[in-house]
Amino acid sequence: MVKVGVVGYGVIGQRLADGVALQEDMELVGVADVGPTLAVRALKEKGMPYDFYLAVEENREKTEEVGIPISGNLEDLIKKVDIVLDATNAGIGAKNKVLYEKYGKKAIFQGGEKTSVADVFFHGYANYEKGIGKQFLKLTSCNTTGLIRSVDCLDRAVGVDSVMIHIVRRVADPGDYHRGLTNALKVDPVPNHQAVDLMLIMPHVKATGVLVHTPVTHGHFITVFAKPKKKITKEEAIAIFKEHPRIRLVRIADGFLGNASIFRYARDLGNPRGDMYEISIWEETITPFEDHLIYSLHIPQESVVIPETIDGIRAAMEMQTDRLEAVGLTNKYLKIGGYR
């Protein structure tokens, strides 16, 4: 049983803790954060299902004042685990790495950290083998994670020569205030980092793309112009995507009009926090055009990286050396693809 700790109990950390707790071959030892944040207060109100470790000693008094039981400090948690999932704010993970190295522990960092923080830039489906046995892995960003799922899926089926990407990016997560209140779009330079990151994971695929920030909170929208190595029909593309457990095919005709429809559907399913682990591809957007295949997809930015992070535990800890066996177990315990 692999012992796992989550450092940073925020948007991603909460979901990582829940995801690890569902894995029957892993044990969630506990979670760590800086003090009595809203997420930690909610953890207490839920009955403290996870042990809490205080990362900032200066906040001990205020944490105890609100009745949150403290199981130890950050180093206490690190000592007890085999691997740490670092879900702290960008830049903090690199500082925490010193502690992970001090105690000889493995760690997985999220997309906000610089790629140089880790031994391997990791994606569960696209390059699982490269993460096997490594001490430090870094996940791709939420956009890149979902994007690579779809491109890797096509690539393994028919081969992909290149992709052009247009991203409509949500400006902040629900509940965030730090981005301010805006009524504007913001354009990033070409190529966007997701295209560059895709080429780091899949160096045989040429990629470029545009990114537009938009003032919404529920999900990113990506249109991909992929150039397969051989022409495929719409029906063939649909069949390929349907085979991937972490891709959900949706239709405008069924009422999936956009990001809000998918978020509402996830809530109607009873998914915690309205999360969806799968990316969604609209069937009506899957269109062969000359030598390209066009399709559009939805990225549930708060939850999409959870399966690939758990894949990373399996790789780093050498729990499974076969890629499909590893991702299959992650999918099974997270109940991904069960609707098929």
Q: Which residue has the tokens 């996870």?
A: 50
Domains of the chain plus CATH, in order, are 2-140+305-334 (3.40.50.720), 142-299 (3.30.360.10)
Q: What angle do CA 210, 214, 217 make, to 5 degrees?
A: 125
pLDDT at 175: 67
Task: Retrieve residue 270's tokens.
Answer: 């009873």
**What is the pLDDT at residue 173?**
67
- Helix, strand, coil percentages (3-state) for the chain, rounded to 5, are 40, 25, 35
Residue 5 β-bridge partners: 30, 84
Which one from 92, 142, 153, 326 is the annotated catalytic residue?
Answer: 142
pLDDT of residue 151: 98
Would residue 142 show up in a list of annotated catalytic residues for this protein?
Answer: yes
How high is the pLDDT of residue 216?
80
What pLDDT is recorded for position 340? Answer: 61
- Which pLDDT value is given to residue 179? 65
pLDDT along the chain (340 residues), means of 10: 97 97 98 97 96 97 96 98 96 96 98 93 97 98 95 98 92 67 83 95 96 86 96 97 97 95 95 95 97 96 96 98 98 86
On whether 33 is known to bind a ligand per the annotation, the reply is: yes
User: How much is the pLDDT for 184?
Assistant: 82
Q: Are the CB atoms for 298 and 283 separated by under 8 Å? A: no
Q: Return the closest-CA partner of residue 245 out of 283, 210, 279.
A: 279
